[in-house]
């Protein structure tokens, strides 16, 4: 079993790497690379994301062939892929952080700034928040509803098809905090920073 964490210079992903290695131990081979061949022949792929929507998309596009390889992996071959934070947001058609930027287009929708009701809610939304599981998602096996997860974001993913939403969180409104569509999974929160429940999500993905 090979799980590849895509390292495309989106920011510091050491906590993602450490959490996957901690859960995998010696049973699963964790690779951290943007090598197209390694990604192509992986069993599962993790797409982290830190920074702005535009900076992450630009970083993906700066590696020749990476977007095509990810499309082949997730869309054509339907292998499991997990997007974390901006990694999830990039599934959308378009994002509006910094400027209008085209996303991967895997799940129809947009990424917009959270409505903070004229300063009533602080942005970025940082810290622990409860999640409301609304769909029997594979990554939530043995996760109790209303568990707390750790968030750091100012923008939210708004999918057109609400059936892909697997959990929401209440901040200024009901914010999408995870999705599942066939083999594609994504969390707006950071499972790698969400203590034991977060590590359980990592384990659930690894053992799909």
Catalytic residue annotation: 85, 190, 192
Stretch (H or E) spanning 59:
helix 53-61
HSE at residue 130, side-chain half, CA atoms within 13 A, is 6
Helix/strand/coil for 155: strand
The CA distance from 62 to 56, in Å, is 10
* Alpha-carbon span 132 to 112, nearest angstrom: 21
What lies within 8 Å, CB to CB, of 180 at 6+ separation is 135, 137, 138, 139, 164, 166
Handedness of CA 137, 152, 21, 184 (dihedral sign): positive
């Amino acid at each position: 079993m090979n799980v590849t964490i895509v390292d495309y210079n989106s920011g510091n992903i050491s906590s993602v790497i450490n959490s996957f290695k901690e859960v995998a131990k010696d049973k699963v081979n964790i690779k951290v690379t943007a090598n197209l061949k390694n990604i192509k022949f992986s069993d599962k792929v993790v797409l982290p994301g830190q920074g702005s929507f535009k900076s992450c998309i630009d970083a993906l596009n700066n590696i020749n062939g990476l977007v095509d390889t990810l499309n082949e992996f997730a869309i054509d071959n339907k292998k499991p892929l997990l997007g974390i934070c901006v990694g999830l947001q990039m599934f959308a058609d378009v994002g509006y952080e910094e400027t209008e930027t085209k996303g991967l287009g895997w799940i129809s929708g947009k990424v917009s700034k959270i409505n903070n009701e004229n300063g009533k809610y602080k942005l970025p939304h940082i810290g622990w928040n409860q999640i409301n599981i609304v769909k029997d998602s594979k990554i939530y096996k043995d996760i109790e509803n209303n568990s707390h997860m750790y968030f750091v974001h100012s923008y939210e993913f708004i999918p057109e098809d609400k059936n892909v939403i697997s959990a929401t969180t209440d901040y200024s409104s009901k914010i999408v905090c995870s999705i599942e569509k066939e083999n594609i999974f994504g969390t707006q929160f950071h499972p790698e920073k969400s203590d034991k429940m977060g590590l359980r999500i990592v384990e659930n993905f690894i053992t799909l």
